[in-house]
């Protein structure tokens, strides 16, 4: 959790952001250019308000995007699992693209894609920790792409954590409902897909030098 705070954390004041980074303004223009960003000479926004005050609505919008994406991913995962349990469990698999892609209901006590079934409680604790860290640090989020990426992670973690808590064989030991079964690959669900997509997006953003607080590395 400390490492996650180091990555996503950002100073509450613009001056503390340090050298080597630029923070884009609402239109993506790096801070420090004439008339834009928190480093503008007058120290005020275009409306005459202090830059710190003008930056708060943009931060709140990013938080709204994060939780909207998380809610969408969570709802999609939850609804799909309810349908699978009601219509597909204890029934033959449904072929979507011949043998290459099927819908097959499977209960998975392990991590994503069926790995580590002996560590169900540990995976439950990890998912809960991820949710807590993202929710705690969301107030310091100023990047829209990072908001989308973290929203996918949060929604996916919530989806599988719900199964861990409420499904058999017991609380924190519940088996996750998986149903997407590609040929020669592990069976997974929409929550796993959201987590993978969020993780890939975070890797791409890191390679581009974009931090969660909206600053961009020059190197």
| 76/53 Cα distance (integer angstroms) | 36
Cβ-Cβ contacts under 8 Å for 182 (sequence gap 6 or more): 100, 101
Instruction: Give the residue numbers annotated as catalytic, written as ranges.
Output: 178, 192
* Greatest Cα pair distance in the chain: 69
The pLDDT, as a whole number, for residue 116 is 55
Given this model, what pLDDT does residue 115 score?
57
pLDDT in tens, 140-198: 899 999 999 999 999 999 999 999 899 988 888 888 999 999 999 889 999 999 999 99
Neighbours of 118 (CB within 10 A): 8
How many residues in the chain? 219
Full-model pTM: 0.72
pLDDT at 5: 47
Contact 145, 101 (CB under 8 A): no
Q: Cβ distance 51 to 40 under 8 Å?
A: yes
């Amino acid at each position: 959790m400390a490492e996650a705070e180091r990555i996503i954390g950002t100073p509450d004041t613009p001056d503390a952001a340090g050298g080597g980074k630029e923070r884009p303004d609402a239109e993506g223009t790096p801070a420090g250019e004439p008339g834009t960003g928190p480093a503008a000479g007058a120290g005020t926004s275009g409306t005459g308000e202090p830059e710190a005050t003008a930056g708060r609505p943009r931060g709140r919008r990013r938080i709204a995007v994060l939780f909207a994406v998380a809610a969408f991913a969570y709802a999609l995962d939850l609804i799909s699992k309810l349908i699978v349990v009601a219509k597909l469990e204890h029934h033959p698999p449904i072929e979507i693209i011949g043998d290459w892609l099927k819908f097959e209901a499977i209960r998975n006590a392990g991590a994503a894609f069926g790995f580590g079934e002996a560590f169900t409680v540990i995976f439950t604790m990890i998912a809960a920790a991820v949710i807590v860290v993202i929710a705690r640090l969301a107030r310091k989020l100023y990047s829209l792409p990072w908001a989308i990426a973290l929203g996918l992670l949060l929604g996916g973690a919530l989806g599988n954590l719900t199964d861990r808590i409420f499904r058999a064989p017991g609380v924190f030991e519940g088996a996750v409902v998986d149903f997407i079964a590609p040929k020669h690959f592990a069976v997974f669900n929409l929550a796993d897909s959201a987590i993978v997509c969020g993780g890939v997006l975070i890797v791409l953003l890191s390679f581009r030098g974009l931090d969660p607080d909206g600053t961009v590395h020059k190197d």
